[in-house]
């Protein structure tokens, strides 16, 4: 099951990032087409064999490749900076809009990860119904939205204040903000993924307590004094 999760990461995340950076504006569009074909084929195989499609993986791949193609003809660094600003602002607005439509992309990501690990739809549905898991996923989404909005607003401030000559002034601030948010997001992900092990420990401790009580009960019967029998023996 772990191999399936690693395969998903390689196909949907590593491959687009590596291919786009290797191509790097060299007009090798056929490589992008081959990559898209490979992703569609992999998705078709997982759908037929494992009855699942990694939706967040496909969304990430399409967004990353589309973002790369839009920037392909951009040669000025300042223009690339503006494109990045648009990306952060549009991403944050999209996530907020989807949330108003009761669509949480973090929930979908959680679903895709568990499906890649071999969990059933019923298992995942029961997990998402638990208030603890739902709250952690909602908090993670909020952190991601704040992350995108913060970096986007820093970029807007840099463009409006410093312009083409000094927009790099706030790069250190952007890096620091991004680093802090990534740490926070990583912490939330680890908390969510550790909820399973915490619940298992609680179940084991509860079973141990039940077994202990059952072992104690038979011994406690020996200490009971039956008054009726005691009265009959004294008559």
- Which pLDDT tens digit goes with each residue over 156-184? 999 999 988 898 899 999 999 999 999 99
pLDDT in tens, 186-231: 999 888 888 766 555 655 555 555 555 555 555 545 555 555 555 5
> What is the Cα 48 distance to its own chain's centre?
24
Buried b or exposed e, range 91-127, using 16+ CB within 10 angstroms: bbeebeeebeeeebbbbbbbbbbbbbeebeeeebeeb
Which pLDDT does position 181 carry in this prediction?
A: 95
Which pLDDT does position 214 carry in this prediction?
A: 56
Mean pLDDT of 14-39: 81
pLDDT in tens, 98-107: 989 988 899 9
Which pLDDT does position 232 carry in this prediction?
A: 52
SS3 53: coil
Which pLDDT does position 212 carry in this prediction?
A: 57
pLDDT in tens, 34-93: 888 999 999 999 999 888 999 999 999 999 888 888 887 777 889 889 989 999 999 999
Q: Where are the domains of the chain?
A: 1-73, 74-235
Rounded (10°) angle between helices 29-50 and 15-23: 170
Mean pLDDT taken over the chain: 82
Which pLDDT does position 206 carry in this prediction?
A: 56
Buried b or exposed e, range 186-196, using 16+ CB within 10 angstroms: eebbeebeeee
Smallest CA-to-CA distance from 110 within 10, 4, 192, 187 is with 192
Which pLDDT does position 127 carry in this prediction?
A: 83
For 157, counting Cβ atoms within 10 Å of its Cβ (0-12 exposed, 13-18 middle, 19+ buried), the class is middle
Whole-angstrom CA distances from 128 to 8, 96, 122, 198 are: 22, 20, 10, 16
Question: How far, in Å, CA of 119 to CA of 112, rounded?
Answer: 10
Which pLDDT does position 228 carry in this prediction?
A: 55
Which pLDDT does position 216 carry in this prediction?
A: 55
């Amino acid at each position: 099951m772990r191999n399936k999760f690693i395969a998903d990461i390689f196909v949907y995340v590593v491959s687009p990032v590596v291919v786009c950076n290797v191509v790097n504006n060299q007009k090798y569009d056929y490589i992008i087409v081959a990559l898209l074909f490979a992703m569609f084929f992999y998705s078709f195989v997982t759908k037929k064999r494992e009855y699942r499609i990694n939706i967040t993986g496909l969304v990430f791949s399409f967004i990353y490749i589309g973002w790369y193609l839009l920037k392909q003809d951009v040669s000025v660094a300042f223009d690339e900076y503006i494109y990045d600003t648009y990306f952060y602002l549009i991403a944050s607005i999209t996530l907020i809009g989807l949330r108003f439509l009761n669509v949480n992309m973090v929930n979908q990501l959680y679903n895709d990860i568990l499906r890649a690990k071999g969990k059933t739809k019923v298992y995942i549905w029961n997990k998402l119904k638990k208030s603890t898991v739902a709250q952690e996923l909602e908090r993670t989404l909020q952190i991601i939205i704040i992350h995108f909005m913060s970096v986007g607003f820093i970029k807007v401030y840099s463009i409006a204040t410093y312009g083409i000559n000094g927009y790099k002034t706030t790069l250190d601030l952007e890096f620091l903000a991004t680093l802090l948010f990534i740490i926070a997001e990583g912490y939330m992900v680890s908390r969510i993924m550790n909820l399973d092990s915490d619940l298992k420990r609680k179940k084991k401790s509860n079973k141990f307590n039940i077994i202990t009580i059952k072992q104690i009960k038979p011994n406690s019967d020996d200490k009971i004094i039956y008054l009726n029998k005691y009265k009959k023996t004294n008559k």
